[in-house]
Structure 1
Amino acid sequence: MNSNIDSVKIQKWPRWCIGSLLLYALLVSPSLIIRYNAIAKNFGALLLALSMFSLIMYFYKNRHLQICSKFPRTIYTILLTYVSCSIFYGAFIDNAYVPLTFWGNIDYAPAFLLPLFVKIGMRKENVLWLLKVLAYFSLLTLPMFLIDFSYTLYIGWTLFFPLAFAKFLPKKLAIALIVSGICYASLCWFDGARTPVIRTIISMLIAVYTYLKPIISRRLANWAAIATIVIPFYYFFLYVTTGFSVFDSELSSRSSSLGDNSADTRTFLYEEILDDLQDTKTIWFGKGINGKYYSPHFSHSSGDNEERQNPEVGFLSYLFKGGIVYTVIIFLLLPLAVIRMLSVKDNIIAQIFGLLIVQHIFLLFIENIPQYTLYNAVIWSIVGFAFSPNLYDVNENTIGKIFNVRRSFVLSKQQKTVINK
C-alpha cells in the first residue's frame, strides 16, 4: 500500500502501529476466540508490544502537536495525566500486576493507551492513509468467512469507516464495500452479534445522508446527532433512578420479530457493575487497570469465567476501570470532538467524521468495549482529527484524490475571491 498521501510520506511509526493491529485482527483475535492457543496468544502479545511501542514513539516525536482549542486541550491533558497515573499504579503498586497479562492483554494497560492515537489523527495524511488502508483491508471480510465466521467478525469491525465514505470512493470499491456491509450485517444477525449489525447499518445511513444532503437540512442532521447522544444518557439516568431498563422493555416487546436476538444481555451487566462499584466503594476512581469483579450471572453459566476482567459494555468498562472521574473526562472529550466537526460549514467530510463519533458514543452504552483494537484506534484517530487545524483542508476532492478518483474541483469562497481579484 502506497505510504504517500498528498506527496507526504507517512511516518514509519504509524505504519508499524497500525500494521501490527491489522495482523492482530487478521490472525490473532479469531484464533483466541476459536480455542485457547498459546502460539496465537504469544504472537498476539508480540504484535501488541510492537504496536504500543510504535504508538508511544510517535507520540513522543510529535509531542509538539497541540489541540487547537484551549478547553479540549486542557481536557486531553487531564486525560493523559489520569491515564499515566493509572498505568503507574497498575504496574508498580497493584498486587495483581502480572507483566504478560498487564501488557499483553487488550483489556489492561493497552486499553489505557488508546488516547495516544489522538496524536496520530492530528495529521490529516495519517487519517487519509488509514481510510485508504481500511477500505481495502475490509474487502477481506467476506472471503475470510470461508475459514470461519470469527475471522469475518473481527475484520468486519473496520467496515464502518470506509462504508461511510462510499460516495467518494472509486465506484467498484464502493460497491464491493456496500455488498460486504450488507452480507456482514446479515451474517452477524444470524450469529447473534447485534452490535456490529447496528454499527454497519448506521454507517450505511451516514453514506445515504451524503447522497441526500442537498435535500436534508444541516440543522436537522445536527439535531438528530444531538438526540442520538442524549438518548442513552437519558435511559441510563432512568435506570439509575427508577430501575427501568430500556433493553428489557424494548427487546421483550419485539421478541416475536427479533427471535433469538431478543435476549436481554445488558441489563444484568449494568446491575452487576454498579452494585460492585458501590459495594467496594470504588465508584469514583474505579477498580484500576487490573480490576476484576465477580459476576453472579456468569457463575451460573457453563463455559464462562465468573471472575470478569471487563464488562461487555464500553460505558460500564470506563466506569469500572476508571470510575466516574475517568468516565466524565472521556465523555467530555468525545462530544467536544463531535461539536467541532459538525460545526464546520459546507464540509460533508467533516460531518461524516463527526457522525462516526456520534455512533460510537451511542453504541458505548451497548458494547464498543475500549480494548486496544483496530476499531478503537480508528475512533481515537478521528477524535484527534477533529481537533486538528487540518480539519478544514479535507474535502470531497481530497478523498477522491487519494483513491485516484477524478472529481470536478469545487472552489472555496476564499479561492473564488482570489481568482476574481
Structure 2
Amino acid sequence: MSSNERIIQTILATWVKFALPSFFLFLPFFIYGDAIGRYLVPISFLLLFFPVIQNKWKILIISFSLFVLLSDLAARSNIIKFIVPFIFSVLYYFRLFLSVKFFELIRLLLCLLPICLFYTGITGIFNVFKIDEYIGEEFTTTSIEVGEKVEQNLKVDTRTFLYIEVLSSALKNDYYWFGRTPARGNESASFGSIALEELKTGKMERFSNEVSILNIFTWTGVIGVVLYFFIFYHSSYLAINKSNNFIIKIIGLCVTFRWAYAWVEDFSLFDLSNIFLWIMIGMCYSVRFRAMSDNDITIWIRGVFDKRYHFIPKIDYDKSVRNNAPLY
C-alpha cells in the first residue's frame, strides 16, 4: 500500500480535506498537550515536501507546525519530530551543492549513532539521557496533563530506568536472543502493578514502553532488533543511492532519523506516527517513487492539495536509470 503513489496521495488528500478542518472541532474538548502533535503527524510528513509545495499551503503547514511547537514545550518528542523534517527539507534548496556522498555520510551517522550511545551508556562512559549531569542550568516549562497545568523539567531522565528494567528482565528470563513475542512484556517494578492488580494477569509486566526499540527487543530479541535495523538501513540506502529525485533522498534521511529516535521514544502503537513511518519506508522501497524526477514528485505532492494536479506522472524507467544508478 505505501509503495502505491495513488493510494498515498488519496490518503493525504482525504486527511487534508476532512481531518485537518475537524482539528478545530476537537481541539476545545479532546485534544491537548502532546495529543496535538499526534493528531497533526501528517503535517510533519508534508514538511518533507515543503520546498515544492505551493506558497499558500506552505503558510498553512508552517502555521500548524508552529502551533504544535508552541502549544506544549514539554512535549519534547513532538517538537523534535516536527523540527527535524523541516531541517531536512531545507536541504532541497542546496541540492545543486550536495552530493550523494554527503547524504550517505549523514545516513550512516544516524544509523550508527544510537548503537554507539547505547554502548557508552551501558559501559558508564556517557549517558545521553542524564543530560542534567552535564548541563547545570535549569530548563522547565508548564504543560497540561488531564486538564491541569503541571511544571516539568525538560532535562529530566525518563529513559534510563526503562532500559535497566527491560535489559534486566531479558537477562533474568533468558529471552534476549529471540524475545518473548508481543504476547508478553518485560518485568517492571515501576509499571507492572497495573497488569498484576488491575488486569489480573498474575505477572508484574509492562506490555509496551515509550521507547520503540525496547519493545522490539522484548518481543523479538537481539535477532529481531538486527532485522528491524536492516529494514531501515536498506530502505534508506535505496532512497539515497538509487533514487532519481531529491525529495526521496530527504525522506531516506528522515527514515534513518526515525531509526535513531526509536532508541529515545517512538510508541509501538497503531497510530498516525507509525503509519506515516511505514509510508516513508514504503516510498523508499518503491521503484516508482524512486524513478520519479523532481518535477514528477512536485506534481504528485501538489495533487494532495489541488485536483488539477491529481494525477500520477508517467514514469520513464529507462530515462531514470540512465540519469541515476539502477533502481534495483
Give the TM interval when normalised to the shorter protein. 0.7 to 0.9
Q: Structure 1 residues 360 and 130, CA, compared in 2 at 3 Å: closer, same or farther?
A: farther
Which amino acid is the alignment partner of residue 152 of structure 1? I
Q: Structure 1 residues 245 and 272, CA, compared in 2 at 3 Å: closer, same or farther?
A: same
**Unaligned stretches of 5+ residues in structure 1:** 1-119
1:332 paired residue number: 230
CA deviation profile, 1:25-84 (whole Å, cap 9, x unmatched): xxxxxxxxxxxxxxxxxxxxxxxxxxxxxxxxxxxxxxxxxxxxxxxxxxxxxxxxxxxx
Q: Structure 1 residues 308 and 373, CA, compared in 2 at 3 Å: closer, same or farther?
A: same
Q: Compute the displacement of 1:210 (Å).
A: 1.6
CA deviation profile, 1:320-353 (whole Å, cap 9, x unmatched): 1111121111111111000000013551121122
Quote the Cα distance in structure 2 between the aligned partners of 1:167 and 1:177: 12
Does structure 2 retain, via aligned residues, the 8 Å contact 1:195–1:363?
A: no
Q: Structure 1 residues 380 and 187, CA, compared in 2 at 3 Å: closer, same or farther?
A: same
Does structure 1 retain, via aligned residues, the 8 Å contact 2:210–2:265?
A: yes
Does structure 2 retain, via aligned residues, the 8 Å contact 1:229–1:361?
A: yes
Does residue 1:246 correspond to 2:246, yes or no? no
Q: Within 5 A, what are the aligned runs for 1:155-304?
A: 155-189=39-73, 192-242=74-124, 244-248=126-130, 250-254=131-135, 256=137, 258-259=139-140, 260-298=153-191
Quote the Cα distance in structure 2 between the aligned partners of 1:262 and 1:328: 30
Quote the Cα distance in structure 1 between the aligned partners of 2:233 and 2:58: 29
Q: Compute the displacement of 1:262 (Å).
A: 0.6
Does structure 2 retain, via aligned residues, the 8 Å contact 1:134–1:161?
A: no
Q: Structure 1 residues 153 and 345, CA, compared in 2 at 3 Å: closer, same or farther?
A: closer
Q: Compute the displacement of 1:396 (Å).
A: 3.4
| Most deviating of 311-320 and 157-166 | 157-166
Which amino acid is the alignment partner of residue 253 of structure 1? Y
**Unaligned stretches of 5+ residues in structure 2:** 141-152, 199-203, 323-328
Quote the Cα distance in structure 2 between the aligned partners of 1:328 and 1:138: 37
RMSD: 3.1
CA deviation profile, 1:109-151 (whole Å, cap 9, x unmatched): xxxxxxxxxxx12222223333444555456656643333154
| Most deviating of 199-208 and 270-279 | 199-208
Q: Compute the displacement of 1:300 (Å).
A: 9.9
Q: Structure 1 residues 200 and 154, CA, compared in 2 at 3 Å: closer, same or farther?
A: same
| Most deviating of 156-165 and 326-335 | 156-165
Runs of 4+ in 1 over 6 A off after TM superposition: none
CA deviation profile, 1:373-416 (whole Å, cap 9, x unmatched): 2221222232222222213333433344314478xx9x98949x
- Normalising by the residue count of structure 2, what TM-score does the alignment of the two structures yield? 0.77
Which amino acid is the alignment partner of residue 246 of structure 1? V
Q: Could you tell me the percent identity over the aligned residues?
A: 19
Which amino acid is the alignment partner of residue 149 of structure 1? Y
Quote the Cα distance in structure 2 between the aligned partners of 1:385 and 1:341: 8
Larger fraction in helix = 1
Q: Aligned residue pairs: how many? A: 289
Q: Secondary structure at the match of 1:237?
A: helix
